[in-house]
Structure 1
Amino acid sequence: MTESAPEAAPVRPTSKVPVSIRLRLARAAVQVIADDAGVRMLHIKGAATDPALHPTPRYGSDVDALVDPHRIPALHSALLTQGWRLYSTFRFGSSFEHAQTYAHDTWGYFDLHRRFPGIGLSDQQAFEQLWLDHTRRESAGIPFAAPSLDAQSVILVLNSARGKGGLPRSWSELDDDAQARARSLVARLHAEVAFAAAEGDLERYRDRREYRLWKATSQGGPRVAEWWGRVIAQPNLPGRLRVVAQAPLVNTDRLARRLGHAPSRAEVVREFFARAGVGLRETAAMITRPFRRQR
């Protein structure tokens, strides 16, 4: 899915239904669409998290699901047919290009994940690994699949690494056996670098190509450092060249939302030069910082 998102105004459901109820219904609605299209998906985060890890439900603000990568085009078409619209694309969604967001006037937002940030396996291999031991739950009477309890523990840690929050409380509440099983899954998913970022032990992996990206993601820093991390993290030369070419491009999805309308060519050009100016200033600051420290 590489198409640009069409102009999409933020969704503000007018219903008086409480958010927790609306999200249960939204999860059920998305699952029905996936079932009808014959698409496997694993619901993650929010209320999809097992109560053993979050006794008090956390509903969040949208529905998230990891979708069988081979079947994403089928689900994309089915969502559009059922009144959902593309809100932001994989290309501009995040530094990891991991999720594509859809919006619906009644149900709100749905984040369709093709991968989960921090997992190093290929998208399809990762999905199949997580699908192996999936569990079954239900929302508004509709059954859905979720990762195993061990996998959910890992996902919570990887998500926390992106939020610069260290290890989540749920991790410290696991017994030794549960933590050992989760660490074994981390190894099978090739997610050691992101997991170490959450643990505060990232320096162990300075020689890994993902190191710079997770350092910028978990510890913050200028956008230039993040983009350089994205370049280095790519597994091959074509991937690195693609990211280099993408770096100066304007995020037209975000610009459209900020302006409230599809940006004109002139507005895109102005944003391009504004981004370039910020990038040059950040690069200059990174280059001169060591010299300033020596004074």
Structure 2
Amino acid sequence: MQFPEGRVTIAYSFPFGSDPYATYLRSANRWVPANWPYILPDGSRYVVWESLEQQPPYRTRLHLVETATGQERVLTVEMGIGTRDAYFFHSYAPEGIYLVAATVGTSGGHGLWLLDTNTGLRREITPSGSWSMVAAGGAWANANDDTVAPAPPGYAGSNSVVRLDLRTGQTQVWLVTPGRQIDIVGVDQAGRPLVMVSNGLGAELQLLSAPGQSQTYPVPQAATHAGLANAYPNGISDANGIWIEDADAIYLFDQQHGMRLVMAGRYLRVAGRCD
């Protein structure tokens, strides 16, 4: 919008089917029409998409946009799997776009595939698992280890954290908490996942540095009650630490200080990385 004329110029409109969020890229000093999982970590490119048809094979047009210039490269791919299932976007990385599979019209997803943005070809990494985050050469998932006590009743049944090596496809359990619930909050720039462990009465944060190795931090009482970790992680990692959205506040976590309140208030959202 220009002042004082009040003239409005539309910089970009969201294609149908794309993620209806905007993120501020401090390095480029501009907003882009994509949520942070669909922006490369260095902010140089982002992806938006438009669905060309609402039936198999679910052809979809990808717009791979250069942040600095706005120039884009268009790639059309088929997202359908048979007659009922389809691939859905998970996150954008230098090596390509990660996808999960799900039945159309349902939430969640399983497995992990990598879409080559040069050829449009997909490569299967694993057909199973529910992978919350992709970072530092691995994918992370909450999982249920049925050899130990399950999570408390009423929880999603995740009492462990598993890492998938994106190069080899091998999985490794990093943490098991019998009788407690685990939620992945984020992954820092050193590749260490931050998880919230709770038992229905209280919660703590654990920063995992290796399988079976972690450092424990307290969780502010307000964040515990509001539900810090959602079904999918919301932490945005940068050089400062992990920025975390809560129902009524924004927090910053780092290894030295733990979790600190940045701002309290309703309808707050982390708009992007701050480095």
Report if TM-score (shorter chain) is over 0.5.
Answer: no
TM-score of the two chains, using structure 2 as the length reference: 0.28
1 or 2, which has the higher helix percentage?
Answer: 1
TM-score of the two chains, using structure 1 as the length reference: 0.27
Structure of greater relative contact order (alpha carbons < 8 Å, 6+ residues apart): 1
